[in-house]
Amino acid sequence: MQVDSLAEQLFFTTLRIDTVDLAGNAGSGTGFFFGLKRGDMSFPFVVTNKHVVNNMRSGRLNFLKREGDKPLIGQGFPADLLDWSTAWFGHPDPSIDIAILPFAPLEAQIKQQTGTDLFYRLVSAEMLPSDAQLATLDAIELVTFVGYPNGIWDSKSLLPVARRGTTASPLQVDFEGTPRFLVDASVFGGSSGSPVFILNQGMYTDKGGGTAIGSRLLFVGVVAAVFFRTQLNQIVAVPVPTQTQPMARQQEMIDLGIVFKGKTVVETIEAFLAAKGVT
Protein backbone atom coordinates (compact mmCIF):
# COMPACT_ATOMS: atom_id res chain seq x y z
CA MET A 1 0.00 0.00 0.00
CA GLN A 2 1.27 3.43 -0.96
CA VAL A 3 0.87 6.20 1.61
CA ASP A 4 0.65 9.21 -0.67
CA SER A 5 -2.80 10.78 -0.61
CA LEU A 6 -4.28 12.65 2.33
CA ALA A 7 -6.90 9.94 2.81
CA GLU A 8 -4.28 7.16 2.83
CA GLN A 9 -2.22 8.97 5.44
CA LEU A 10 -5.18 9.23 7.81
CA PHE A 11 -5.12 5.44 8.23
CA PHE A 12 -1.71 5.75 9.88
CA THR A 13 -2.48 8.58 12.29
CA THR A 14 -4.12 6.29 14.86
CA LEU A 15 -3.32 3.34 17.09
CA ARG A 16 -5.57 0.95 18.94
CA ILE A 17 -5.50 1.13 22.74
CA ASP A 18 -6.45 -2.04 24.63
CA THR A 19 -7.12 -1.81 28.36
CA VAL A 20 -8.13 -3.89 31.36
CA ASP A 21 -10.00 -2.06 34.11
CA LEU A 22 -9.74 -2.62 37.85
CA ALA A 23 -12.54 -5.20 37.72
CA GLY A 24 -10.76 -7.18 35.01
CA ASN A 25 -13.00 -6.09 32.13
CA ALA A 26 -11.31 -5.67 28.73
CA GLY A 27 -11.91 -2.57 26.67
CA SER A 28 -10.53 -0.70 23.70
CA GLY A 29 -10.29 2.84 22.44
CA THR A 30 -8.51 4.98 19.90
CA GLY A 31 -5.36 7.02 20.22
CA PHE A 32 -3.64 9.17 17.61
CA PHE A 33 -0.26 10.73 17.01
CA PHE A 34 -0.04 14.50 17.43
CA GLY A 35 2.90 16.86 17.10
CA LEU A 36 3.42 20.38 18.43
CA LYS A 37 6.36 22.51 17.35
CA ARG A 38 8.06 25.16 19.43
CA GLY A 39 10.80 26.90 17.51
CA ASP A 40 13.16 24.21 16.28
CA MET A 41 11.81 21.59 18.68
CA SER A 42 9.02 19.11 17.97
CA PHE A 43 7.02 17.41 20.71
CA PRO A 44 5.13 14.27 19.62
CA PHE A 45 2.39 12.75 21.78
CA VAL A 46 -0.21 10.01 21.74
CA VAL A 47 -3.64 11.58 22.34
CA THR A 48 -6.87 9.97 23.54
CA ASN A 49 -9.66 10.55 26.07
CA LYS A 50 -9.15 10.50 29.82
CA HIS A 51 -11.93 7.95 30.22
CA VAL A 52 -10.08 5.54 27.91
CA VAL A 53 -6.94 5.37 30.06
CA ASN A 54 -7.82 6.49 33.60
CA ASN A 55 -8.58 3.96 36.34
CA MET A 56 -7.21 1.08 34.29
CA ARG A 57 -5.17 -1.77 35.72
CA SER A 58 -3.13 -2.19 32.54
CA GLY A 59 -2.99 -1.08 28.95
CA ARG A 60 -1.43 -1.84 25.60
CA LEU A 61 -0.59 0.40 22.65
CA ASN A 62 -0.67 -1.33 19.26
CA PHE A 63 1.81 0.15 16.79
CA LEU A 64 2.65 -0.70 13.18
CA LYS A 65 6.20 -1.54 12.15
CA ARG A 66 8.03 0.10 9.27
CA GLU A 67 10.92 -0.71 7.00
CA GLY A 68 12.67 2.30 5.55
CA ASP A 69 9.93 4.81 4.82
CA LYS A 70 7.18 2.24 4.18
CA PRO A 71 4.69 0.60 6.56
CA LEU A 72 4.90 -3.13 7.12
CA ILE A 73 1.19 -3.82 6.68
CA GLY A 74 0.01 -6.48 9.11
CA GLN A 75 3.18 -6.43 11.22
CA GLY A 76 2.31 -4.90 14.55
CA PHE A 77 4.27 -4.06 17.65
CA PRO A 78 2.23 -4.26 20.88
CA ALA A 79 3.69 -2.23 23.73
CA ASP A 80 2.56 -2.88 27.31
CA LEU A 81 3.27 0.08 29.58
CA LEU A 82 4.29 -0.97 33.09
CA ASP A 83 3.58 2.49 34.50
CA TRP A 84 0.19 2.86 32.80
CA SER A 85 -1.51 4.77 35.63
CA THR A 86 1.16 7.46 35.76
CA ALA A 87 2.14 7.59 32.07
CA TRP A 88 -0.79 9.77 31.01
CA PHE A 89 -1.30 13.50 31.55
CA GLY A 90 -4.79 14.95 31.46
CA HIS A 91 -6.12 18.37 30.52
CA PRO A 92 -6.06 20.45 33.72
CA ASP A 93 -9.80 21.08 33.42
CA PRO A 94 -11.53 17.93 34.80
CA SER A 95 -14.45 18.46 32.41
CA ILE A 96 -12.24 18.30 29.30
CA ASP A 97 -11.80 14.66 28.33
CA ILE A 98 -8.33 14.79 26.76
CA ALA A 99 -5.24 12.82 27.84
CA ILE A 100 -1.76 12.70 26.34
CA LEU A 101 1.30 10.46 26.52
CA PRO A 102 4.80 11.68 25.55
CA PHE A 103 5.70 9.60 22.51
CA ALA A 104 9.36 10.42 21.81
CA PRO A 105 10.76 8.61 24.91
CA LEU A 106 8.60 5.56 24.22
CA GLU A 107 9.59 5.37 20.56
CA ALA A 108 13.27 5.72 21.48
CA GLN A 109 12.95 3.00 24.12
CA ILE A 110 11.30 0.61 21.65
CA LYS A 111 14.05 1.26 19.10
CA GLN A 112 16.83 0.85 21.65
CA GLN A 113 15.51 -2.32 23.26
CA THR A 114 14.10 -4.17 20.24
CA GLY A 115 15.51 -2.43 17.15
CA THR A 116 11.96 -1.89 15.90
CA ASP A 117 11.04 1.13 13.77
CA LEU A 118 7.44 2.34 13.98
CA PHE A 119 5.37 3.70 11.12
CA TYR A 120 2.93 6.52 11.81
CA ARG A 121 1.79 9.89 10.60
CA LEU A 122 1.59 12.84 12.96
CA VAL A 123 -1.44 15.06 13.13
CA SER A 124 0.22 18.46 13.31
CA ALA A 125 -0.92 21.45 15.31
CA GLU A 126 -0.56 23.35 12.02
CA MET A 127 -3.56 21.37 10.78
CA LEU A 128 -5.86 23.15 13.23
CA PRO A 129 -8.01 25.68 11.36
CA SER A 130 -6.90 29.28 11.79
CA ASP A 131 -9.41 31.99 12.63
CA ALA A 132 -9.47 32.92 8.95
CA GLN A 133 -10.16 29.32 7.94
CA LEU A 134 -12.84 28.94 10.59
CA ALA A 135 -14.60 31.98 9.16
CA THR A 136 -14.91 30.22 5.79
CA LEU A 137 -16.40 27.00 7.20
CA ASP A 138 -20.14 26.55 6.96
CA ALA A 139 -22.42 25.45 9.79
CA ILE A 140 -22.70 21.98 8.24
CA GLU A 141 -19.44 20.45 7.03
CA LEU A 142 -18.55 16.90 6.05
CA VAL A 143 -16.27 15.29 8.65
CA THR A 144 -14.13 12.14 8.66
CA PHE A 145 -13.02 10.31 11.79
CA VAL A 146 -10.71 7.33 12.12
CA GLY A 147 -10.62 4.69 14.84
CA TYR A 148 -11.79 1.33 16.12
CA PRO A 149 -15.59 1.35 16.62
CA ASN A 150 -16.64 -1.53 18.88
CA GLY A 151 -13.02 -2.67 18.65
CA ILE A 152 -13.40 -3.31 14.91
CA TRP A 153 -10.29 -3.09 12.76
CA ASP A 154 -8.67 -5.05 9.99
CA SER A 155 -7.00 -7.66 12.17
CA LYS A 156 -4.84 -8.82 9.24
CA SER A 157 -3.53 -5.46 8.05
CA LEU A 158 -3.89 -3.86 11.53
CA LEU A 159 -5.49 -0.77 9.97
CA PRO A 160 -8.33 1.24 11.54
CA VAL A 161 -11.76 2.07 10.16
CA ALA A 162 -12.69 5.45 8.67
CA ARG A 163 -16.21 6.83 9.04
CA ARG A 164 -17.95 9.98 7.85
CA GLY A 165 -20.68 12.29 9.05
CA THR A 166 -21.44 15.99 9.24
CA THR A 167 -21.11 18.66 11.86
CA ALA A 168 -24.38 18.99 13.76
CA SER A 169 -23.46 22.27 15.45
CA PRO A 170 -21.37 25.13 14.02
CA LEU A 171 -17.64 24.76 14.59
CA GLN A 172 -17.39 28.46 15.36
CA VAL A 173 -19.70 28.07 18.38
CA ASP A 174 -18.83 26.35 21.66
CA PHE A 175 -21.62 23.83 22.27
CA GLU A 176 -23.24 24.50 25.67
CA GLY A 177 -20.51 27.06 26.33
CA THR A 178 -17.79 24.40 26.33
CA PRO A 179 -14.99 23.73 23.77
CA ARG A 180 -17.06 21.06 22.00
CA PHE A 181 -19.21 20.60 18.91
CA LEU A 182 -21.59 17.88 17.75
CA VAL A 183 -21.37 15.51 14.81
CA ASP A 184 -24.21 13.70 13.11
CA ALA A 185 -22.54 10.29 12.84
CA SER A 186 -22.66 6.80 14.30
CA VAL A 187 -20.25 6.90 17.23
CA PHE A 188 -19.81 3.53 18.93
CA GLY A 189 -17.68 2.16 21.75
CA GLY A 190 -14.01 2.06 20.76
CA SER A 191 -14.34 5.35 18.87
CA SER A 192 -13.32 7.21 22.02
CA GLY A 193 -10.25 9.27 21.17
CA SER A 194 -10.79 9.21 17.40
CA PRO A 195 -9.39 12.29 15.60
CA VAL A 196 -11.94 14.20 13.55
CA PHE A 197 -11.00 15.89 10.27
CA ILE A 198 -12.49 17.97 7.52
CA LEU A 199 -11.17 16.23 4.42
CA ASN A 200 -11.92 17.62 0.97
CA GLN A 201 -10.25 16.26 -2.14
CA GLY A 202 -10.28 17.75 -5.62
CA MET A 203 -12.62 20.66 -4.95
CA TYR A 204 -14.50 22.28 -2.09
CA THR A 205 -16.69 25.30 -1.44
CA ASP A 206 -16.78 27.84 1.36
CA LYS A 207 -19.89 29.16 3.05
CA GLY A 208 -19.96 32.11 0.70
CA GLY A 209 -20.34 29.80 -2.29
CA GLY A 210 -16.79 30.24 -3.53
CA THR A 211 -15.12 27.19 -5.03
CA ALA A 212 -11.50 26.18 -4.51
CA ILE A 213 -9.63 23.64 -6.61
CA GLY A 214 -7.38 21.33 -4.63
CA SER A 215 -7.48 19.37 -1.39
CA ARG A 216 -7.95 20.42 2.21
CA LEU A 217 -7.28 18.59 5.48
CA LEU A 218 -8.11 20.22 8.80
CA PHE A 219 -7.93 18.66 12.24
CA VAL A 220 -10.97 19.83 14.19
CA GLY A 221 -11.36 17.64 17.26
CA VAL A 222 -11.46 14.40 19.25
CA VAL A 223 -14.50 12.13 19.68
CA ALA A 224 -15.36 11.75 23.37
CA ALA A 225 -19.07 11.16 24.07
CA VAL A 226 -22.39 10.22 22.55
CA PHE A 227 -26.04 10.95 23.22
CA PHE A 228 -28.39 8.19 24.37
CA ARG A 229 -32.16 8.07 24.68
CA THR A 230 -33.02 6.39 28.00
CA GLN A 231 -35.98 4.26 28.98
CA LEU A 232 -37.54 7.39 30.46
CA ASN A 233 -37.27 9.04 27.04
CA GLN A 234 -34.57 11.38 28.30
CA ILE A 235 -31.62 12.38 26.14
CA VAL A 236 -28.33 12.11 28.05
CA ALA A 237 -24.68 12.52 27.06
CA VAL A 238 -22.27 9.83 28.23
CA PRO A 239 -18.61 9.07 27.44
CA VAL A 240 -18.25 6.71 24.52
CA PRO A 241 -17.92 3.28 26.20
CA THR A 242 -14.65 1.42 25.85
CA GLN A 243 -16.06 -2.01 26.70
CA THR A 244 -17.61 -4.09 23.97
CA GLN A 245 -20.81 -5.29 25.55
CA PRO A 246 -24.54 -5.37 24.70
CA MET A 247 -26.39 -2.14 25.32
CA ALA A 248 -29.43 -2.23 27.58
CA ARG A 249 -32.59 -2.55 25.53
CA GLN A 250 -33.95 0.60 27.18
CA GLN A 251 -31.06 2.66 25.77
CA GLU A 252 -30.89 3.86 22.20
CA MET A 253 -28.08 5.72 20.48
CA ILE A 254 -29.35 8.68 18.49
CA ASP A 255 -26.28 9.09 16.26
CA LEU A 256 -25.08 12.36 17.77
CA GLY A 257 -21.47 12.40 18.89
CA ILE A 258 -19.74 14.97 21.09
CA VAL A 259 -16.31 16.16 19.96
CA PHE A 260 -13.80 18.20 21.94
CA LYS A 261 -12.29 20.88 19.74
CA GLY A 262 -8.74 20.44 18.54
CA LYS A 263 -7.47 23.39 20.55
CA THR A 264 -8.00 21.36 23.75
CA VAL A 265 -5.23 19.00 22.62
CA VAL A 266 -2.81 21.92 22.29
CA GLU A 267 -3.92 23.22 25.70
CA THR A 268 -3.17 19.83 27.27
CA ILE A 269 0.29 19.69 25.71
CA GLU A 270 1.09 23.24 26.77
CA ALA A 271 0.02 22.42 30.35
CA PHE A 272 2.26 19.33 30.27
CA LEU A 273 5.25 21.28 28.99
CA ALA A 274 4.69 23.99 31.60
CA ALA A 275 4.54 21.34 34.34
CA LYS A 276 7.89 19.98 33.08
CA GLY A 277 9.44 23.45 33.02
CA VAL A 278 9.65 23.61 29.22
CA THR A 279 9.14 27.20 28.07
Q: Is pLDDT above 80 for 140?
A: yes
* pLDDT of 265 above 50: yes
Handedness of CA 105, 107, 112, 113 (dihedral sign): positive
Q: How far apart are CA 117 and CA 216, in angstroms?
A: 29
pLDDT (0 to 100) of residue 32: 98
Please give the average per-residue pLDDT across 144-172, as a whole number. 95
Positive or negative: CA dihedral 151, 154, 156, 159: negative
pLDDT at 250 over 50: no
pLDDT-derived band of residue 151, with 50, 70 and 90 as boundaries?
A: confident
pLDDT of 65 over the 80 cut: yes
Mean pLDDT across 214-235:
78
pTM above 0.85, yes or no: yes
The mean of the pLDDT values for the chain is 90
pLDDT at 236 over 80: no
Question: Do 30 and 40 meet the contact criterion of CB atoms below 8 Å apart?
Answer: no
Question: What is the mean predicted confidence (pLDDT) over 128-153?
Answer: 94
* Distance separating alpha carbons of residues 193 and 245, to the nearest angstrom: 19
Q: What is the mean pLDDT of residues 154-164?
A: 96
Q: How confident is the model at residue 66 (pLDDT cuts 50, 70, 90)?
A: very high
Judged against a pLDDT cut of 50, whether residue 247 lies above it is answered with no
Whether residue 131 has pLDDT greater than 80: yes
Ordered DSSP codes for the chain: ----SHHHHHTTSEEEEEEEETTS-EEEEEEEEEEEEETTEEEEEEEE-HHHHTTEEEEEEEEEEEETTEEEEEEEEEEE-TTHHHH-EE-SSTTS--EEEE-HHHHHHHHHHH---EE--PEEGGGSPPHHHHHH--SS-EEEEEE-GGG--BTTTTB-EEEEEEESS-TTS-GGGSSEEEEES---TT-TT-EEEEEE-SEEE-TTS-EEES-EEEEEEEEEEEEEE-TTS-EEEEEPP-S--PPPTT-EEEEEEEEEETHHHHHHHHHHHHHTT--
Q: How much is the average pLDDT of 124-142?
A: 96
> Please, what are the domains in the chain?
6-124+265-275 (2.40.10.10), 127-262 (2.40.10)
Q: Which residue has the higher pLDDT, 202 or 261?
A: 261
**Which of the two residues, 208 and 117, has the higher pLDDT score?**
117
pLDDT of the residue at 118? 98
- The pLDDT confidence band at residue 25, using thresholds 50, 70 and 90, is very high
Mean pLDDT of 55-73: 96
